[in-house]
Structure 1
Amino acid sequence: MFSNFKPTWMVDAIYKITPEQLQTHGIKAVLTDLDNTLIAWNNPEGTIELQQWLLTLKKAGIPVIVVSNNNEERVRYAVERFDIDFVARALKPLGKGIREGVRRLNLSKDEVVMVGDQIMTDVRAANRVGVRSILVKPIIDTDSWKTQFNRLCERQIMRYLQKKNPEMVWQGEIT
């Protein structure tokens, strides 16, 4: 019933995903959500840990594109200091933004992964397009008012998915 919301992997934090893990699975590029995945929704400055993670991926030749439902001005302001590409107004859970990201990378869907903190938007959109997904825990425990309703629904969906799929547990890496 909720299989469209099932992530490929569940990792504690985006910063624990390494180039070696990605390469082991044939992944050549990362699409990622912005708020509460890369940065706290209420702090667009990011962290040193984020800067180091992005630099590590860049050195490994793994491009990153932010795919966000936010407007262009908000996303540009948040990512310009990191010198990464983005797709704004992605319309997740529809696949528009993810398809655009894959197109810009000029890679096959099998060579790309979508990372996000929400199963109702990030994971659902990835599954809709046929891109593997990594669900990460939100960076902070609070959400913008627009996300709070989704979180309530997600708890129900996660309980169902984990009951049907006992292998769905939080990991420290992609296995």
Structure 2
Amino acid sequence: MSVFFPHADFKRIYEIPTEFFQQRGLTVALLDVDNTLTTHDNPTPHKEVLGWLERQRNSGLRLMILSNNTEERVAPFAEGLGLEYIANAHKPLGGPLRQALGKLGVRPEETAVIGDQIFTDILCARLAGCTAVLVEPMEPEPMAFFRVKRTLERPILRAYRKRKGRG
């Protein structure tokens, strides 16, 4: 299977049921911030995300933020949610992801990486041996860099959906 294909996909993070993690033996979820937990540069998560985080915590799933964004962006967001975090994660490079796994004392097979970008979140998870979960971005990004990345993602998403029978 392509290293760019997620293992699973959902429209929004809060639509991922607790059973998804339990049935796969996943004990940790590493979460992206922008366009996964909240809109780009928004300091607070969506209300539905707060409920989802609480349900996952109550089920025993350990949560941690793994973001390519800066310390200044990620730290207050993560602290407001009571979550540990790694900022400047350089996804898809695996060093900070391995650091998170070591800090949490888990193996890649026990870990899901959830995010909205194929070339960072999904590729990082796949290369590390984690479960890759793709969510749709909450809103379009205004910056040209992201528009180019989204354009490059389209053929991969079409191939993935075709393989999944959702052409």
Q: Which has the higher contact order (CA 8 A, sep 6+)?
A: 1
SS in structure 2 opposite 1:4? coil
Structure 1 residue ranges without an equivalent (≥5): 171-175
- Residue 168 to residue 32, structure 1, CA distance change in 2 (3 Å): farther
Aligned partner of 1:92 in structure 2 is: 91
103-112 or 93-102: which moved more? 93-102
1:63 corresponding residue in structure 2: 62
Residue 114 of structure 2: SS of its match in structure 1? strand
Structure 1 counterpart of 2:136: 137
Residue deviations 1:94-148 (CA, integer Å, cap 9, x gap)? 1122212211211111111001111111000111111111111111233544422
- CA shift, 1:153, in A, is 0.8
Deviates most, 135-144 or 116-125: 135-144
After TM superposition, give the deviation of residue 162 of structure 1 in Å. 3.6
Q: CA RMSD in A?
A: 1.9
1:148-159 map, 5 Å: 148-159=147-158
Q: Is the 8 A contact 1:75 1:86 kept in 2?
A: yes
Alpha-carbon contact 1:41-1:144 (below 8 Å) kept: no
Q: Percent identity?
A: 33
- Residues 61-86 of structure 1, C-alpha deviations (whole Å, 9 max, x = no match): 11111110011111012221110011
Note if contact 1:41-1:143 (Cα within 8 Å) is conserved in structure 2.
Answer: no
- Aligned residue pair count: 167
Superposition map of 1:27-46 within 5 A: 27-46=26-45
Residues in 1 aligned to 2:13 and 2:96: alpha-carbon distance in whole angstroms: 20
Distance 1:47 1:65 in 2: 17
Q: Which amino acid aligns with 2:23?
A: T
- My pick for the range that moved more, 23-32 or 40-49, is 40-49
